[in-house]
Amino acid sequence: MEIEYRSGVDDAWYAVKILTEGDYGERLRVRFCEFGAEYDEVYEGENLTSVKHMEAFESRFRSASVQVQDSECPNVVEGMLVCAAVSNRPDDCRYFDAVVNKVKRKRHRIVEDEEECRCEFILFWRHGPNGGSLTTRFVGDICRVQPQTEEVHPLVTLFLQTVKSRIRNNELSHVPPSTLPTIPQHASSRGMTKFFSERDEHDQDRGGVSFIVVVKNLEKGISPFTIMEFIQEQLCISCHASVWPSKPSEPYVKGMIMVKGKNNLDKLSRFLDDPVQLIISPSGRPWVMTEMIQLDETLRISDRGCELMSHERTIICNKLKLVKFGSQEFKKAKRLKQLFKQREARLQ
């Protein structure tokens, strides 16, 4: 099984081999295929202390990306996630993720019976030295990111299972005995969210600045709890949410998501504005992030907003969905998002 790993040292993707060590597979060794053992990165399970850490670590592994061949160039289209080369020197080439922003198609040539692609691919880099900017690449620089599979690699899974059972044991042993039985089974997911949210805040800088992200085009009747649950599930960050009442003539409602700290804000805004995915309501209505506001430091995020809205919990059980680039649902949601933005622009 060929996999690649996003290095903890330079954040670039590399082809790697995985080895586990220790009696229970509690140590993971990442060996870089084209480098000697002195470049190995070794991870001790005991350093992964929370589910959040563990998931962040797991997300650094994926199936190896595949080099796009010249004849496959029509498959590389706008909005597609690719892994592409950045080279500062001829002998130093590293791979980072980018989204195809535009393709300038050129006629292919045939050279010695081989098709040669001369198209230009303008990439928006998601990380690495060009992160956040646009640059042009050619087909030879571009690899196709493979669809995500359930299991990255059996040894990574084994390592994470060992870590997970240790974290679970630690958490259970730290919870006061009276706390556990009070979470009713039927409300477990909501109860647990709240439970983890309180625990999370202890880990974070309590004095951090708070930010509000305004999201428009939410489905009428959506509960703030649905928003909070979804964000916590997807990003493992604590947040608070509230929904503004709307006029009967307005087809949607506006929501506010509040997070503490610049890191959480960056994580949330990247997630909401990611060009390769959209968040939709059950009817297909896509979320549109419109504003980010920094709160005065004297204002503290409180649960009050949510409590006031808590009656809404019973009104609707509104499941949100993340749709990925390439699917029909994404295509439809993307079009709706564009229409929404056009309409907003006209109203201003």
Binding site for Zn ion (CB under 5 A): 73, 117, 119
Nearer Cβ to Zn ion, position 43 or 138?
138
CB of 117 to Zn ion, least distance (A): 3
Nearer Cβ to Zn ion, position 8 or 140?
140
Nearer Cβ to Zn ion, position 83 or 117?
117
Which pair of structure tokens corresponds to residue 225?
Answer: 């709890």
Q: What is the CA radius of gyration of the chain?
A: 23
CB of 141 to Zn ion, least distance (A): 13
Q: Give whole-number Cα distances, 174 to 26, 202, 319, in Å.
A: 22, 14, 32
- With b for 16 or more beta-carbon neighbours within 10 A and e for fewer, the 265-287 pattern comes to bebbbebbebbbbbbbbeeebbb
Helix (H, G, I), strand (E, B) or coil at 43: strand
Decide: 217 and 287 in contact? Cβ < 8 Å. yes
Q: Give whole-number Cα distances, 10 to 5, 39, 94, in Å.
A: 11, 12, 9
Q: How far apart are CA 253 and CA 285, in angstroms?
A: 11
Nearer Cβ to Zn ion, position 37 or 111?
111
Nearer Cβ to Zn ion, position 135 or 234?
135
